[in-house]
Structure 1
Amino acid sequence: MSEPPPARYRTTNWPSYNASLRKRGSLLIWVDKDMTLHAPRDGRPGRPAAFSDAAMQFCLSTKILFKLPLRQTAEMVASLLKLAGLDWSVPDFSTLCRRQKALAAQVPHRRADGPLNLRVDSPVLPDLLGQIPGDEQIATVTADGAYDTRRCHKALIARDAVPIIPIRKNGRLWKDDCPAARARNETLRATRYYGRAFRKRWTGYHARSRIEAKMRCLKAFGERIAASDPDRQTAEIHIRIALMNRFSALGTAEIIRVARQ
């Protein structure tokens, strides 16, 4: 029996999306002329910081975007400011290195109304849930079969979240000793009755591919983290995500599935 033809998709906003892709090549989209360059005085004793957190994030974003060492980053930032017609001072490489350790990077994002629908690819799930405020409602959490564990299911039930996690192919019924085990066993029975493929489509599991695509985008800035200590690594990851969101804010594709003939 021949295989069905592959699905076809069409981008409905190609002119605007094409323009947004062109804008991503502009160097000046990263320069905010309204940015506060110098740090405000906070009243604490000691020498105040010369540059604001926004200025630090701008410089470190340039470093990550162009995969530069810190010394070359300072020169690249100076060139960008000159191109933008701004006579601003630029922090040296040692200042950039020192400030990255304590930098609280600002990540722009758009928040939809309603509870969260999380899609997880690689982090430790219970620890990730612990970072979300307790009063934040979580509707669903979609993850792959690696998260089909008691610890993950208990963490989700504790947050009143619906797990969309496929049962492992060799999965068996758990001992019916807690709400998480009972909910997971019901999922296993439904999977056995309807089949894995149907249940994945019914629960919307395949939407998890979006987070996999975003992880590939994240790795486009480099497979390895350049920073060597956890605090600087955290700042680097946050800046990468901020860069990705800035690209998305310029415009994204609107895609629909084309009916097969």
Structure 2
Amino acid sequence: MSTLPTPPHKDSYKIKNWKEYNRSLCRRGRITLWLHDSVLDEWEQAAQKGKRVGEQTYCDSIIQCCLLLKINYGLKLRQSTGFVESLFMLMGKSHLPVPDYTTLCRRQKSLPVDIGDRLAGGENLSVGIDSTGLKVYGEGEWKVRKHGYSKRRTWQKLHLCVDLDTQEILRAELTGNDEDDASVGTKMLKGKTSHIKRFIADGAYDKFGFREILGSDVLQIIPPLKNAVIQKGSKKKLLPDYLIQRNGTVEAINKHGSKRWKKENGYHRRSLNEVAMFRYKTIFGGELDARAFENQRTEVKLKCWVLNRFIGIGMPEAYKVS
């Protein structure tokens, strides 16, 4: 009789700032996180200005506020309109105009979202990139598992660049599910590596073009492919520094094994990339609400902006239990 293998032992952790963390979790539900005085002032200006031909009635901050309320409370576009209207009624501000769902949908397509790009101004950043799938169309996982799929299932690919020290999302890109991870990573980091001291990612990013973008000043903790060989230069063409660094990784793995190399270089911190994906899907789910691709891009960036806001409010501080 065959027996299942014994799962490896996992370390146990406890939260040492539970009281503060619990309070921060409660604060995440506050409406004032998104609907604050500065936005209300702009709403008052929109009410006074009224509708003019050729001009937008609502500024970007009003549209963003409505979409953030929609995302944070899990509403649809029409529900978010009614939600904001009811808030204004309770506040005694029923005279303020509220954008309808068609306006929100149309403006979401081109809404600029700044999630706080610290790649341009941070110092000595430890950065990681990873990707995950988000479902657009298709049946639920339970139905597919029990009976198989009978309809087309469509996915998009979310790429997140994460600060491994603070767990803040630095960049977010949405692509089709056939996009190569390293190619997207190249676009995300091109010209933005001057403040990165360490980069950690899986073997999907072991591409010469991507390593060249990172440059020799960045410690590249990327496991080479299993069939990787030592690269050699010539008298006419010297070997670039980033390939010299990769050669050192290949030699270390061939000599001591990948397990030792990962432990010595802190490769385990790559799991923080997956933690960011897990946090995203736990809070917002693994599906996209928008149908147009431009709207989907805005949607994921707004959700990443919300996650960064939650991190700023408070995060758990854990310690290992012996």
Structure 1 and Structure 2 fold alike (TM over 0.5): yes
1:215 aligns with 2:277: yes
Residue type of the alignment partner of 2:228: R
Alpha-carbon distance in structure 2 between the residues aligned to 1:4 and 1:232: 43
Contact kept, 8 Å, 1:108 with 1:246, in 2: the verdict is: no
Higher alpha-carbon deviation: 82-91 or 54-63: 82-91
Question: By how many angstroms is 1:80 displaced?
Answer: 3.3
Asked if 1:176 is matched to 2:232, the reply is yes
**Counterpart of 2:34?**
30
Deviation at 1:4, TM superposition (A): 8.3
Residue 288 (structure 2) aligns with = 225
Q: 1:175 to 1:26 in 2, by over 3 A?
A: same
- Alignment-derived partner of residue 157 in structure 1: 215
Write out aligned runs for 1:16-27 (5 A).
16-27=20-31
User: Which residue does the alignment assign to 2:18?
Assistant: 14
Q: Distance in 1 between matches of 2:91 and 2:200?
A: 44
Indicate if the aligned counterparts of 1:148 and 1:167 stay in contact, CA closer than 8 A. yes
Aligned residues: 249
Q: Is the 8 A contact 2:122 2:195 kept in 1?
A: no
- Gapped runs of 5+ residues in structure 2? 1-5, 47-51, 132-158, 160-183, 234-238
Aligned in 2, Cα 1:195/1:229: closer, same or farther, shift over 3 Å? same
Residue 3 of structure 1 deviates from its aligned partner by: 9.1
The aligned amino acid for 2:264 is W
Name the TM-score, length of structure 1 as normaliser.
0.82
Same amino acid, percent of matched pairs: 33
**Distance in 1, Cα, partners of 2:244 & 2:26:** 52
Q: Deviations over 1:210-236 (max 9, x none)?
A: 121111222341323233334322211
Give the TM-score normalised by structure 2.
0.68
* 2:125 match: 116
Amino acid at match of 2:286: E
**Distance change >3 Å, CA 197–CA 253, structure 1 → 2:** same
Of 47, 52, 55, the residue aligned with 1:48 is 55
Query: Secondary structure at 1:228's aligned position in 2?
Result: coil
Moved more, 46-55 or 89-98: 46-55
Task: String of CA shifts for 1:133-153, please: whole Å, max 9, x gaps.
Answer: 47x422121101111222222
Match of 1:42 in 2: none
Mapped pair 1:69 → 2:76: yes
CA deviation after TM superposition for structure 1 residue 188, in Å: 1.0
Distance 1:4 1:62, change over 3 A: closer
Q: Which residue identity does 1:197 align to in structure 2?
A: K
User: What CA deviation, in whole Å up to 9, does each residue of 1:230-255 have, x standing for no partner?
Assistant: 43222111100111122222211111
- Give, in whole Å, the separation in 1 of the partners of 2:109 and 2:212: 34
Are residue 143 (structure 1) and residue 201 (structure 2) matched? yes
How far 1:206 sits from its partner (Å)?
Answer: 1.4
Distance 1:162 1:202 in 2: 13
What do residues 108-158 of structure 1 show as CA deviations (whole Å, max 9, x unaligned)?
Answer: 58899523321111242211112x547x42212110111122222222227
Post-superposition offset of 1:63: 2.2
The alignment yields a C-alpha RMSD, in angstroms, of 2.8
Relative CO higher for 1 or 2, CA cutoff 8 Å, sep ≥ 6?
1
Post-superposition offset of 1:72:
1.8
Higher-strand-fraction structure: 2
